[in-house]
Structure 1
């Protein structure tokens, strides 16, 4: 039984632990302590009976704030991905509606162009018919009887009306 007087620093180097761990060990085991001439605390310890094996050091825990921030970022990323996917679906649906409406507008533009052309043709026929009626009502043409010219004009007028009616039905 060899008792040695060791400072906390010496005890920590012999046991391969930190100075604070050596001090805590001396307190737990209630080892006798005293002051040296230099004013340092010394511990009376019998190293042969002190069967001490230090616990393996635990890995430092990650900062809980950093871990929480990482979890929040992961959740936000997933939420953002889901929101992006939802918005892409909405955009696709709007695109389909847009395409359908554009095709409808194109068809209506073609129909409007055809209607304008038909209206222009009808106005031309109406003008021609009005000229025919005006000619019938007004002057007598030399070189023929009034009745003969009227009958001829009336025949032309009837033919023009029938022709314009057929053109309107197309």
Structure 2
């Protein structure tokens, strides 16, 4: 029993520390110009939303949220979004690895007149850290997450880290 309690204390505090660390990271790089939606809030939504993945193709092909549209970051073009989502009142959730690149893409969407844009708090990493499913390029559930680099992989606490 004593070891079980120690196990819970260690792994429970690790998850809490990860959340605090992600909070510090996002506070450092983001200005909250695009409001956050948590993984739990997104999972609980009972309506259709557009999910936009603002990572690079190799990241998206490794894993993404179900029904996400790849829009990229380096090659992002607002024109392609306006064709896919002509209604500027559509609810849009943008995500990346942790929520930094997606804030930039969300800002671009807002400047183009989209009114209901949110940024997934902690990105796909926090989604997976909360045991929520991700899908590979053939739409099969996977545990692999492209972490962009070894440095950024520290924020992913669950799943298989891929960074090549």
Larger RCO (CA under 8 A, 6+ residues apart) = 2
Q: TM-score, normalised by structure 2?
A: 0.26
Structure with the higher strand share, 1 or 2: 2
Structure with the higher helix share, 1 or 2: 1
Q: TM-score, normalised by structure 1?
A: 0.25
